[in-house]
Amino acid sequence: MKIEKRSKRIVISLMVLFILTVLFLASANSEEDLRIVGENSIILSDNWTIRYGDSQEQAVRLPVDLDVEPGTAYEALIVLPNVANQLDYLLLRASMQDVVVYLDDQEIHRAEKPETQGIVSPVASTWIMFKLPRDFQGKTLKLVLKSDIAAFSGHINKVILGEDSSLIYYVFKQGFSGFIVFLVLFTMGLLVILFSILSKSVADNRFLYLGLLVIATSIWILSEARLLQFFMGNRYIIGGISYLMVPLMGSFFSLYAKETIFVEQRNKRLMQLMAWLYLFLLIATMILQGFGISAFIETMNIMFVVIFVNVIVFALLMGSELVKQKNQNAKQFFKYMSVLSISVILEGIAFFTNHFDYTSVFLRIGSLIFFGLLLTDSYLYFKRSLQSQKERDLYEALAYKDVLTGGNNRAAFERDFEILRNKEVPFRLVLLDLNELKYINDNYGHGSGDDALKTLYTMMHDAFMPEGVCYRVGGDEFAILMESTEKTTVKLSILQMRKYLKRAESHVEYPLEVAIGTDVYDAKTWSNLTKFYHHVDQQMYADKLERKQMRKTKFAIEVQ
């Protein structure tokens, strides 16, 4: 143990030394920049003129929030700087807003929510990037914005001028941390779901619910990282996926909690009810958006209220289990939840105070810590379950294993006999008895008797497999179950077994001979199992008497 700990410390120390060395060498070669995409862009943040209603403000710095009623248009103007011609792309963020762009009062770009028939498309926060006309330098850029969403009416984001590749790099850089968190969580979620499907060692669905919860959270984080437009251009996905993931996260979390934390059935039922409530809210949200009654973001206020109430109820139920049941799972989960609860509270504060730039930042950090703890806990649970399963398998194997021969015992025979009978198809039973076991024990010792029994089982197994399964059902009694009912098959196996026994008999001082009885069980013929077994047993006994008589006759001839 000491050697293992020392080896671990050495490996960790070498890895730390390696990382520090690489960082030092990288800093020594930092003058040259080999990136494919540079940061050739300018943020137009200062000296904007803002117009809304009868008001006009000069020298405004973006981003800014104005006191503008929903549905009211407002303008932002700036004189474009004298920059290189290659900086001819404009990038801005439309936060659920319609945007029209003018250059010296000539319209050059329009980004508005299209009118749709039937299902109403959601408003979406999107990146807008387009190429400016030639000789744009020194001309007046005017943005006309309008939003029907109160939270975003009057909001103006940063505007960036630059090369197209640099602007794409800027967008990805802004959401890079969210993308990394998405990749980590999404991969973990897929692996956990795959494990839940393939594993037979876990009795409940905790891994399935945990995997679905992790994936839903990862998709929500990717959307809030403002990177979905890199992967698709569908307005419904870009504008709605974040809001659809929230109730799914709540539902999967409730189901996971039901499986892993609570002991009392009442509390389990409450968690099940909460999961159904989230699914109802999901469907209601989609219907309200589809009919144009309420946008996704507007119903999100109700969703956050439900989440807040759910957190309180959940905490109370855990407290109840801690006091009444001394539930250690609840105690452990309470610690994990404290991390996530803090991030959810900060997330809610950012949402209700309209600080949307911080949306998902707190939850990214909290989610990584929270799911890391849950996955660690789940791994330990699986490790315990696997150990318990191994113990159960061992006990089960011992329950059906004959100690002397190492083969199947009577309990295994009765189990398999019942399985074959329930199939309602004919099968063959073979009963065997080792002749002269008492004679072997008395004259050559019980060790020889045990060896004789083991030899018989081995010969049976070799002769009848794979057509038959062998069992030791008593002291010197054995049985074979065969799905094949052909007489030729069983005769050949019996002849082969007797041949093996004859060969083995030449190496010992005592006889190795068996009496055999066999017949086919058919439920139509044999309604009584006891009578059928007795019938085969009688055949075996008759064979024993016949072979005993044959030995007497042979002995008498030899004496004469």
If phi over 0 gives left and psi between -120 and 50 gives alpha, with beta otherwise, what is residue 47? left
Between 30 and 372, whose confidence is greater?
372
What is the mean predicted confidence (pLDDT) over 360-370? 72
The predicted pLDDT at position 387 comes to: 74
Q: Domain span at residue 10? A: 1-32
What is the mean predicted confidence (pLDDT) over 509-520? 91
State the Cα–Cα distance between residues 331 and 56, nearest whole angstrom.
Answer: 58
Between 223 and 325, whose confidence is greater?
223
Is it the case that residue 361 has pLDDT exceeding 70? no
Tokens of 81: 């700087």
User: Is 536 inside a domain boundary?
Assistant: yes
User: Confidence class of residue 556 from pLDDT cuts 50, 70 and 90?
Assistant: low
Say if residue 300 is in the same domain as residue 224: yes
User: Is 405 inside a domain boundary?
Assistant: no
Sheet with 159-162: list strands edge to edge.
41-44, 159-162, 89-94, 126-131
State the Cα–Cα distance between residues 465 and 335, nearest whole angstrom.
Answer: 57
Give me the DSSP letters along 190-257: HHHHHHHHH-SS--SSHHHHHHHHHHHHHHHHHHHTT-GGGT---HHHHHHHHHHHHHHHHHHHHHHH
What is the mean predicted confidence (pLDDT) over 294-322? 84
What is the mean predicted confidence (pLDDT) over 285-311? 87
The predicted pLDDT at position 118 comes to: 73
Is it the case that residue 358 has pLDDT exceeding 80? no
Give me the DSSP letters along 340-402: HHHHHHHHHHHHHTT-GGGTTHHHHHHHHHHHHHHHHHHHHHHHHHHHHHHHHHHHHHHHTB-
CA 489 to chain centre: 48
User: Is 400 inside a domain boundary?
Assistant: no
The predicted pLDDT at position 48 comes to: 94
User: Confidence class of residue 356 from pLDDT cuts 50, 70 and 90?
Assistant: low
Number of structural domains found in the chain = 4
User: Is 49 inside a domain boundary?
Assistant: yes
Above pLDDT 90, what percent of the chain? 40
Say if residue 163 is in the same domain as residue 222: no
* Tens-place pLDDT, residues 160-209: 999 998 999 888 888 888 898 899 889 989 988 988 888 776 667 888 99
Q: In this structure, what CATH number is given to the domain that contains residue 130?
A: 2.60.120.260
Radius of gyration of the chain (CA): 39
What is the mean predicted confidence (pLDDT) over 279-304? 89
* Tens-place pLDDT, residues 16-29: 888 888 878 777 76
The predicted pLDDT at position 357 comes to: 55
Is it the case that residue 394 has pLDDT exceeding 80? no
In the block, residue with structure tokens 């989609």 = 286
Q: Which of 57-66, 119-128, 253-262, 361-370 bottoms out in mean pLDDT, i.e. has the lowest?
A: 361-370
Say if residue 198 is in the same domain as residue 341: yes
User: Confidence class of residue 398 from pLDDT cuts 50, 70 and 90?
Assistant: confident
Say if residue 220 is in the same domain as residue 365: yes
The predicted pLDDT at position 397 comes to: 74
Say if residue 183 is in the same domain as residue 168: no
Say if residue 336 is in the same domain as residue 191: yes
The predicted pLDDT at position 36 comes to: 54
Say if residue 379 is in the same domain as residue 520: no
Is it the case that residue 558 has pLDDT exceeding 70? no
User: Is 182 inside a domain boundary?
Assistant: yes
Q: In this structure, what CATH number is given to the domain that contains residue 213?
A: 1.20.1070
- Domain stop point among 172, 201, 218: 172
- Domain stop point among 132, 156, 172: 172
User: Confidence class of residue 5 from pLDDT cuts 50, 70 and 90?
Assistant: low
pTM of the model: 0.65
The predicted pLDDT at position 30 comes to: 62
What is the mean predicted confidence (pLDDT) over 30-44? 69
Say if residue 338 is in the same domain as residue 355: yes
* Tens-place pLDDT, residues 516-553: 999 999 888 887 888 999 999 999 999 888 888 877 76
The predicted pLDDT at position 256 comes to: 87
Between 176 and 141, whose confidence is greater?
141
Is it the case that residue 375 has pLDDT exceeding 80? no
User: Confidence class of residue 97 from pLDDT cuts 50, 70 and 90?
Assistant: very high
What is the mean predicted confidence (pLDDT) over 240-267? 89
Say if residue 96 is in the same domain as residue 208: no
Tokens of 129: 């990037």
Say if residue 137 is in the same domain as residue 186: no
Q: In this structure, what CATH number is given to the domain that contains residue 445?
A: 3.30.70.270
User: Confidence class of residue 472 from pLDDT cuts 50, 70 and 90?
Assistant: very high
Tokens of 269: 């039922």
* Tens-place pLDDT, residues 215-248: 998 998 889 888 888 888 888 899 899 999 999 9
Q: Which of 262-266, 357-361, 375-379 bottoms out in mean pLDDT, i.e. has the lowest?
A: 357-361
User: What secondary structure letter does DSSP report for 274?
Assistant: H
User: Confidence class of residue 555 from pLDDT cuts 50, 70 and 90?
Assistant: low
Q: Are the C-beta atoms of residues 76 and 142 closer than 8 Å to each other?
A: yes
pLDDT averaged over every residue in the chain: 85
User: Is 401 inside a domain boundary?
Assistant: no
Q: Which of 207-211, 407-411, 482-486, 525-529 bottoms out in mean pLDDT, i.e. has the lowest?
A: 525-529
- Between strands 41-44 and 126-131, the pairing is unpaired
User: Confidence class of residue 424 from pLDDT cuts 50, 70 and 90?
Assistant: confident
User: Is 403 inside a domain boundary?
Assistant: no
The predicted pLDDT at position 174 comes to: 84
Q: Are the C-beta atoms of residues 350 and 356 closer than 8 Å to each other?
A: yes
Say if residue 254 is in the same domain as residue 145: no
State the Cα–Cα distance between residues 336 and 537, nearest whole angstrom.
Answer: 65
The predicted pLDDT at position 429 comes to: 94
Instruction: List, in order, residues 6 or more apart from 497 with CB less than 8 Å away.
Output: 459, 460, 462, 463, 464, 514
User: Is 120 inside a domain boundary?
Assistant: yes
Say if residue 384 is in the same domain as residue 273: yes
> Within 10 A of 558 (CB to CB), how many other CB atoms are there?
7
Is it the case that residue 351 has pLDDT exceeding 70? no
Nearest 10 degrees: Cα torsion 372, 373, 376, 378: -110
- Domain stop point among 359, 393, 427: 393
